Amino acid sequence: MGNFVLWFFLGFILASCSLRGITVSENITYMEEGFLGEMPQKQLNIFYPKKITDPLPVLVFIHGGSWRSGSKERYGVLGRRMSRREIVTVIMDYPLSPEYKIHTMGMAVAKALDWVSENISAYGGDPGRIVVSGHSAGGHLASLVAVRDVYFDSLGVRNPIAGAALIDAAGLDMYHYLKEANNAPGTSHLRTFTDDPEVWRATSPIYFLHEEMPPMIFLMGGKTYKSIREGTDRFMQAYSDFEPKPDLRIQKNKRHVPMIVQFLYTPGRAFRWVRDFVKNID
Domains of the chain: 2-279 (3.40.50.1820)
pLDDT of residue 17 exceeding 50? no
- Give mean pLDDT, residues 110-129: 98
Smallest Cα–Cα separation from 247: which of 225, 223, 214, 202? 214
pLDDT of residue 234 exceeding 80? yes
- Per-residue confidence at 33, pLDDT binned at 50, 70, 90? very high
226 CB neighbour count, 10 Å cutoff: 7
pLDDT of residue 66 exceeding 80? yes
**What does pLDDT average to over the chain?**
93
- Give mean pLDDT, residues 122-138: 98
Smallest Cα–Cα separation from 206: which of 162, 174, 244? 174
Strands 22-31 and 42-49: antiparallel
Question: Residue 98 and residue 75: Cα distance in Å, rounded?
Answer: 23
pLDDT of residue 281 exceeding 80? yes
**How much is the pLDDT for 265?**
76
- Give mean pLDDT, residues 7-24: 59
pLDDT of residue 242 exceeding 50? yes
Which stretches within the chain are classed as H helix? Answer: 2-16, 76-84, 102-119, 137-147, 150-155, 174-181, 190-193, 197-202, 226-239, 258-261, 269-279
- Is there a contact between 112 and 31 (Cβ–Cβ < 8 Å)? yes
225 CB neighbour count, 10 Å cutoff: 14
- Is there a contact between 87 and 56 (Cβ–Cβ < 8 Å)? yes
- Is there a contact between 94 and 42 (Cβ–Cβ < 8 Å)? yes
- Per-residue confidence at 187, pLDDT binned at 50, 70, 90? confident
**How much is the pLDDT for 20?**
54
Q: Which residues contact 205 (CB under 8 A, 6 or more apart)?
A: 140, 143, 144, 146, 147, 148, 171, 172, 173, 235
Question: Residue 119 and residue 134: Cα distance in Å, rounded?
Answer: 21
Q: Work out the angle at residue 252's Cα, subtended by the Cα atoms of residues 249 and 256, and round it to the nearest 5 degrees.
A: 85
54 CB neighbour count, 10 Å cutoff: 7
- Per-residue confidence at 53, pLDDT binned at 50, 70, 90? very high
pTM: 0.92
- Per-residue confidence at 16, pLDDT binned at 50, 70, 90? very low
Distance of CA 239 to the CA centre of its chain: 19
Residue 213 region by backbone torsions, left for phi larger than 0, else alpha for psi between -120 and 50, else beta: beta
**How much is the pLDDT for 109?**
98
Distances (CA, A) of 183 to 66, 178, 194, 196, 230: 16, 7, 11, 12, 18
Q: Which residues contact 183 (CB under 8 A, 6 or more apart)?
A: 189, 190
Exposed, middle or buried by CB within 10 Å (0-12, 13-18, 19+), for 136? Answer: buried
pLDDT of residue 59 exceeding 60? yes
Respond yes or no on whether the N-terminal peptide bond of residue 55 is cis (omega within 30° of 0). no
**How much is the pLDDT for 264?**
82
The model's pLDDT over 153-182, given as tens digits with 9 standing for 90+, comes to: 999 999 999 999 999 999 999 999 999 999
